[in-house]
Amino acid sequence: MGRPLPTRRAVLAGALATGVATALFPGAAHAGGRQPRTIDPHSRSRVDPRSISCVDTRKRVVALTFDDGPDPASTPQVLEVLEHFGVPATFFMIGRNVVEHGELVTEVVRRGHQVANHSQDHLWLDRQPPGVVQRQVDLGAQSLVRAGAPPNRLFRPPHGWTSGTVADVLGQEGSRSIFWSDCLEHHLALGPPSAAVAAMAERVLPGSILLCHDGGHLDGPHPQSFDRSATVAALPHLLEAVLARHLRFVTVSELTGV
Ligand SMILES: [Zn+2]
């Protein structure tokens, strides 16, 4: 099972503590290096109130998202699974990978999925000054446009780590940070795939935004290399379990109206 969500009282206490810290140390909430990392939906929405981690809706719809691609090692397999189930998804792509694998962007778009910006280099934006944040947002968007992806106002900060600076830069552009309510790899790290899928399907609610990763390889200042075969193997079971709960998948723009 995943970590239980904090109670309303705990969230309120956290919000009050943040308010106190800001009152005692003006500017603390925007002081890049000293701000605690935003590691859950509550801290993300405190730092960026316009951000979205899930949607309040009575419709039985959820959004499936994939981060860090495109990646020839796993994106084509993910696309095959989605095709088999007739499920649309939203791919938050890293500009650096977009430049390298433009043909995969074309294929993702051709199959009717949404493509969105996950920064150019997957920098840890909550520790970056405004100029760097702006450049990462702009370059990531440019890479997608050059690869033929239709533009939109969705942005996902790498790791979900955001700051007042990131919020300000996106706000000036009319863009929104899109986070998530649950993550497949989080559950896969905790136990066997069947338990991971069951735990995630049990927690999903109308309006949930689910995160998976199709990108394993990344070069640059913060390189990473992950084997995403466990994600690819678990994905059909996750889709089956969520669809069995009579929930329908839509893109992030369809879910959020952004
Ligand atoms: Zn990422």
CATH number of the CATH domain containing 12: 3.20.20.370
> pTM here?
0.87
Question: What's the 67 CA to ligand 1 centre distance in angstroms?
Answer: 5
Supply the pLDDT for residue 38.
Answer: 97
CA of 93 to the centre of ligand 1 (A): 8
Residue 104 is assigned to a structural domain of this protein: yes
Of the candidates 48, 67, 121, 214, the residue annotated as catalytic is: 67
pLDDT tens sequence across 9-46: 333 333 333 333 333 333 334 444 468 999 999 999 99
Residue 221 lies in a domain: yes
Tell me how many domains the chain contains. 1
Q: Quote the CA–CA distance of 183 and 106 in Å, as a whole number.
A: 26
Q: How far is the CA of 238 from the centre of ligand 1 (A)?
A: 20
Task: Decide if 77 is inside a domain.
Answer: yes
Q: Which residues contact 243 (CB under 8 A, 6 or more apart)?
A: 85, 87, 249
**CA-to-CA distance for 71 and 93, rounded, in angstroms?**
9
Per the annotation, the verdict on 101 as an active-site residue is no
The answer as to whether 2 is a domain residue is no
- Pairing of the two strands 209-213 and 61-67: parallel
Task: Output the CA 221–ligand 1 centroid distance in Å.
Answer: 13
In angstroms, the CA 7 to CA 168 distance is 29
pLDDT digits (tens, 9 = 90+) for 182-226: 999 999 999 999 999 999 999 999 999 999 999 999 999 999 999
Q: Which amino acid is at 150?
A: P
Domain of residue 71 covers 8-256
DSSP secondary structure, 90-134, as one string: EEEE-HHHHHHTHHHHHHHHHTT-EEEE--SS---GGGS-HHHHH
Residue 67 annotated among the catalytic residues of the structure: yes
Instruction: Tell me, yes or no, whether 18 lies in a domain.
Output: yes
Whether residue 3 lies inside any domain: the answer is no
Total Cβ atoms within 10 A of residue 53: 19
Percent pLDDT > 70 in the chain is 87
> Residues 79, 117: contact at Cβ < 8 Å?
no
Domain-located, residue 128:
yes
Q: Quickly state the pLDDT bin for 4 (edges 50, 70, 90).
A: very low
